[in-house]
Structures are given as C-alpha cells and as structure tokens.
Amino acid sequence: MLIKKPAAIRPSEITSEKNYLNRRNFIRAGALLGGSILAPSAMSAVVPDKRGAKLAGIRKSRFSTDETPNSFEDITTYNNYYEFGTGKSDPYKNAQDFDPLPWTVKVEGHAEKTGTFDFADFIKPFDLEERIYRMRCVEAWSMVIPWVGISLAEVIKHFRPTSKAKYVAFETLNDRKRMPGIRRGSLDWPYREGLTIAEATNPLPILAVGLYGQVLPNQNGAPIRLVVPWKYGFKGIKGIVRMRFTEVRPETSWNMAQAREYGFYANVNPNVDHPRWSQARERRIGAGLFASKQPTLMFNGYGDEVAHLYKGLDLRRNY
C-alpha cells in the first residue's frame, strides 16, 4: 500500500527533527551524550538515551554512493517489519511505543568469544560510520539510505569464529506483548536470517544503529539491524537479539515461508525473476508516481565488491 507523504525535507534539516517522534525517556545505556569534542574512537561508545537523538563521531565511508538519499519520511514511513504489521505504514504506526532499550545481543556458537552483551557494550569496540547505500527490495522498489552503523566484518573478527563457523545466523526479538504483528502469525517467529562467513566478512555489510545521523527509528529495526546492500531487503534483519556462528546453513524466515520464491542467497539479480514478477526494473520510492522505473543492477551495483563471492555458483539455482 502506498501512503501519502509529507513534502520531502532536506538532509540538512533532519537533525533538527527533534519532535518527529514521541519524546520518551530511555534507560541510559551510555554515559556520553552528544559531546562534540570527544575523539572519534571514544564516540563509538556513545549511545544517546533519547529517540531521535543525534549520534556523534560518525566517520564517512568510501563505500557510500553519491546518489541522493531518500527523505527521512520515505525511509521511516514505508517499511517492512512484520512484527509490527504487514502493511507498509504499520511499522511506523505500531512501533512508536516500542522501547528498544535496555537491549541485549547474545553471541553464541562456534566462536572463541561468546556471551550476552548489553547493546552499548556490544557496539562500543567499533567505529561508527555513515554508509549511504542503495537498497533494493524483492518487491521491486528501491531507496537510498544514509545508514549509520558498524562494520559486520569487524564485529565477526572481534568474536573470533573458529574454523567450524561456516555461517552466521541472526534472530530478531520475539515478544508478543511488545510486537503486535507477532500475535497475527504471518511468519514463523522469531524472524531469522543468515549469511555465509565469506559474505559476513566482506567489507560491505554493516550492523546499523542509526540513519540520517540519528538513533535508528523503531520501524527501521532499533536498536540494531543488519544491512547487506547487494541482497534483497529481506536479508536486512531488524531488532537483532542473537547472533550464532554455525557449521550448517541456518534457516531463514522467507525461505521457510516460501522456498520457491525466496532463497538463502537473495542476491539482487535482474536476470532471475521472482516466480510472480520481474526483477529487471525497480521503482525508486519518492521519485513520483509518473517517474519511469529504473533498471536493476546486478548485485544492486555492488558487483566489484562482491561478485567474487559467487564464482562458479549457478545463481539461477542459488537465488
């Protein structure tokens, strides 16, 4: 469903959008809030305690596209997050009262370092980066999103997976009380996703904790979600509470729901159609009703960085 959007706002206006979301106090997960004189390395320890708060100490990334990002409204009102409903505006409407903090991430499986970490401690060792990525949904629409996050490859290295770790599996919070969509049973909960270790240690994927320089809105997966720009959007699991290093390929939610339509790899591929529609073109959200669709690029345009991961693999069978 398409919803009506307010006039687009310029990126320069975004950080003053303080009243965009409800003001609520969260438990303080970090001691340092918005101190602009701190060195970048210390900045990554900053977890602002308010929704919509500005993140500090963000580095720019060489992986960012120079395409114009979608507006904050586009990115935060047109979402898929079935835990909050299946309509595109449901996550925006139904996730406003969700309190993401306190939050813990459990790391388990074949790694030397495992355990349960408070969100602030989990992200503390890593640099915050802005990565402006093209995102392509399997439903044939796309956006450009200025994420703020930490490198997944750095996170993986930090936990020192053993030689048995061939995959990384992720799980979302599964809380019927706080996530109204879960009660409707549209998927087999918790939402699950996975990557091969080679994919997860590629420099491109990030664990996003913000967008447009501010704390990640609930509807986009607060407080932490995966972003893999060369794969269809459904690989970008939101609200991550568990990461597991596995020897066998983990189950993934959309593959479990419809294996013929959604594979494990889910690489953006204009040459392999979804069984019910073409993947050759895409509609850029926000471009206007009369804008023509644009061609979809192999690996969403990130082929130089990732094509080598799939050498010799039949991408028609491994969709």
**141 - beta bridge partners?**
283
- Give the H or E element holding residue 306: helix 303-306
The reply on whether position 266 binds ligand MTE by CB under 6 A is no
The reply on whether position 77 binds ligand MTE by CB under 6 A is no
Q: Residue 304 carries which side chain, given as an amino acid letter?
A: D
Residue 87 burial class via C-beta count within 10 angstroms: exposed 0-12, middle 13-18, buried 19 and up: middle
Stretch binding ligand MTE (CB under 6 A), from 80-88, 112-120, 241-249, 311-319: 80-88
Helix (H, G, I), strand (E, B) or coil at 298: helix
Stretch binding ligand MTE (CB under 6 A), from 4-12, 105-113, 126-134, 229-237: 229-237
The reply on whether position 83 binds ligand MTE by CB under 6 A is yes
Closer by beta carbon to ligand MTE, 70 or else 151: 70
The reply on whether position 44 binds ligand MTE by CB under 6 A is no
Stretch binding ligand MTE (CB under 6 A), from 7-15, 234-242, 243-251, 257-265: 234-242
**Interface pick for ligand MTE out of 72, 81, 103, 230 (rule CB under 6 A):** 81
The reply on whether position 172 binds ligand MTE by CB under 6 A is yes
**Interface pick for ligand MTE out of 82, 159, 170, 245 (rule CB under 6 A):** 82
Binding to ligand MTE by CB under 6 A, coded x per residue (else -) over 185-204, reads ------x-------------
Structure tokens at 10: 């310029």
The reply on whether position 218 binds ligand MTE by CB under 6 A is no
Closer by beta carbon to ligand MTE, 79 or else 255: 79
Residue 270 burial class via C-beta count within 10 angstroms: exposed 0-12, middle 13-18, buried 19 and up: middle
**Minimum gap (Å) between residue 79 Cβ and ligand MTE:** 3
d(CA 115, CA 107): 5
Helix (H, G, I), strand (E, B) or coil at 56: coil
Give the DSSP letter string of 177-242: TT-GGGGGTSS-SSPEEEEEHHHHTSSS-EEEEEETTEEPPGGGTTT-EEE-TTBBGGGS--SEEE
**Minimum gap (Å) between residue 137 Cβ and ligand MTE:** 4
**164 φψ region: left (φ > 0), alpha (ψ -120 to 50), beta (else):** alpha
- Binding stretches for ligand MTE (CB under 6 A): 79-83, 137, 172, 191, 220, 233-234, 236-239
